[in-house]
A and B are shown apart, each in its own frame.
Chain A
Amino acid sequence: MGGLAIASSPAAESASLVGRVLGGDPAAERALYDANVNRVYRLAHRMIGDSDLAEEYTQETFIRVFDKLGDFRGDAALSTWITSVAISVIYNGMRKLKRQRERERSLDDAQAMAAPRREAEPDLKTRLATAIDRLPEGYRMVFLMHDVEGFTHEEIAESLGVQEGTSKAQLSRARARLRTALADFRRPGHE
């Protein structure tokens, strides 16, 4: 944001931005949003796989961020704090979705039993998507944040409120589960 004052460090810059937002500066609000919206939206989309819901969760995240910005103490980076709000919104949304999808799945299962069909052997990409879908929520979040979206373990740990070691362990377990699920594809030429 070209019009913004350049502060001496990221922390000071964040503090200045937060102060201006709390002071009711609309340009600062938009600057805060612009600086963080991409990572929030991408993370929501990675977790949910639905553009409409990703938009909804992103909006909810920023509404909460602006409502609770006064609570931000600067213990973590502002972007990390915003990510933690986003994760909370995403998890809440996923729990609601889970209930709904369970109802839909029971209907799909009934249809599948009525008309069984042979499917071609799925390729690695399809099998991987299924395997990621089946990861426990926490493993999936860490895997997607670290291996796909490029968050560091430090950022993940602060966003999730866990130790860095926990983040690393969860990533390791997530990768191990994916390896197991995709064991067939170790053989050369099996794509």
Chain B
Amino acid sequence: MNDARREEHELDDRVRALARQYHQPPETPRDAMWARIAARRGGAESLRPPAETAEVRVLPLRRRAMRMMAWVTGVAATLAVGIGIGRLSGAGGGESTGFPSLAGGAAATEPSMALQVATSQHLSRAEAFLTGFRSQSPDSGFTGQARDLLTSTRLLLDTRVVRDARTQALLQDLELILVQIVQLRPGDRPAERELITDGLEQRQVLPRLRTEVPAGPPRAAGA
């Protein structure tokens, strides 16, 4: 009995020693992972290690300025498209749908409507893109489309025109999915793509997009 117990302990010791070689991790690639984490979070401030704090103070400002430029350009384009559609479609239709609600009565209704239409269009494009991404074979064309949609998504998030929590959460999830798609490379294993589609399903991004996007073309006033 004692021999058996001793053998058991000896085997346990050998197992523990050998188990250290099981799936032995290489050195942690901390900087590479940090760069990707910062990119996914969109946190420009987080890209540098603490030792470079002095430099960080300059870089975020520059990035913020660039984002502001993109913000202005994007908002102008969004408004131009949105207001154009709004004018073509006539005025009215100011009821709340969870899209931007700018205070100020009739004068404010038009830009609100314009942004609503623009947001609606964006979500509609995203829904069509993700449906295609999920159902079709890998195609490098996806990356370019994803990048465009990612830019628009971030503009909408940055402008804070979408104020209701549900749509904001949807845009944030959409941003996360699009970042993953942008990072896909042609040589990536199918598992990478599958993780993205699993994320789509887990977060129910497509059903939520379909809920947000009205059936048919973006809703116009009086239509």
Q: Does B8 contact A (CB under 8 A)?
A: yes
Within 143-177 of A, Cβ neighbours of B (below 8 Å) are at: 143-144, 147-148, 175
CA distance A124 to B29 in the complex (A): 30
Given the interface pairs A63-B41, A129-B22, A185-B14, the reply to whether A30 lies near B195 with Cβ below 8 Å is no
Q: Does A142 contact B (CB under 8 A)?
A: no
Given the interface pairs A148-B19, A179-B11, the reply to whether A3 lies near B53 with Cβ below 8 Å is yes
22 contacts between A and B (CB under 8 A): A24-B45, A26-B46, A26-B50, A38-B28, A45-B25, A46-B22, A54-B25, A55-B32, A62-B37, A96-B195, A96-B198, A100-B190, A100-B194, A147-B16, A148-B16, A148-B22, A175-B15, A178-B15, A182-B11, A185-B11, A186-B7, A186-B8
CA distance A26 to B46 in the complex (A): 5
Q: Does A139 contact B (CB under 8 A)?
A: no
Contact between B25 and A59, CB atoms less than 8 A apart: no
Given the interface pairs A38-B28, A55-B29, A62-B37, the reply to whether A97 lies near B20 with Cβ below 8 Å is no
CA distance A27 to B51 in the complex (A): 8
> Using Cβ atoms and an 8 Å threshold, which residues of chain B touch A93?
195
Closest to A179 in B: B11
Within 131-186 of B, Cβ neighbours of A (below 8 Å) are at: none
CB of B174, distance to nearest CB on chain A (Å):
15
Contact between A186 and B34, CB atoms less than 8 A apart: no
Contact between A27 and B37, CB atoms less than 8 A apart: no
Within 115-151 of A, Cβ neighbours of B (below 8 Å) are at: 124-125, 128-129, 132, 143-144, 147-148
Q: Does A91 contact B (CB under 8 A)?
A: no
Q: A55-B32, A100-B194, A148-B19 are in contact. List 14 more A-B contacts (CB 8 A).
A: A26-B45, A26-B60, A33-B37, A37-B28, A41-B33, A46-B25, A66-B37, A96-B194, A128-B19, A128-B22, A129-B22, A132-B19, A186-B8, A186-B11
> Quick one: CB contact mask for B1-33 with A, threshold 8 Å, 1 for yes?
000000110111011101111111110111011
Contact between B20 and A31, CB atoms less than 8 A apart: no
The 7 closest A-B pairs by CB, nearest first: A45-B25, A49-B23, A27-B50, A26-B45, A41-B28, A42-B25, A186-B7
CB of B104, distance to nearest CB on chain A (Å):
32
> Using Cβ atoms and an 8 Å threshold, which residues of chain B touch A47?
23
> Using Cβ atoms and an 8 Å threshold, which residues of chain B touch A132?
19, 22
What is the interface of chain B, defined by CB distance below 8 A to chain A?
Answer: 7-8, 10-12, 14-16, 18-26, 28-30, 32-34, 36-37, 40-41, 43, 45-46, 48-51, 53, 56, 60, 190-191, 194-195, 198
> Quick one: CB contact mask for A19-56 with B, threshold 8 Å, 1 for yes?
00000101101110110011001100111110101111
Q: Does A83 contact B (CB under 8 A)?
A: no
CB of A40, distance to nearest CB on chain B (Å):
9
Given the interface pairs A124-B18, A144-B22, A148-B20, the reply to whether A30 lies near B11 with Cβ below 8 Å is no
> Using Cβ atoms and an 8 Å threshold, which residues of chain A touch B33?
37, 41, 55, 58-59, 62
Given the interface pairs A45-B23, A96-B198, A132-B19, the reply to whether A34 lies near B30 with Cβ below 8 Å is yes
Contact between B40 and A147, CB atoms less than 8 A apart: no
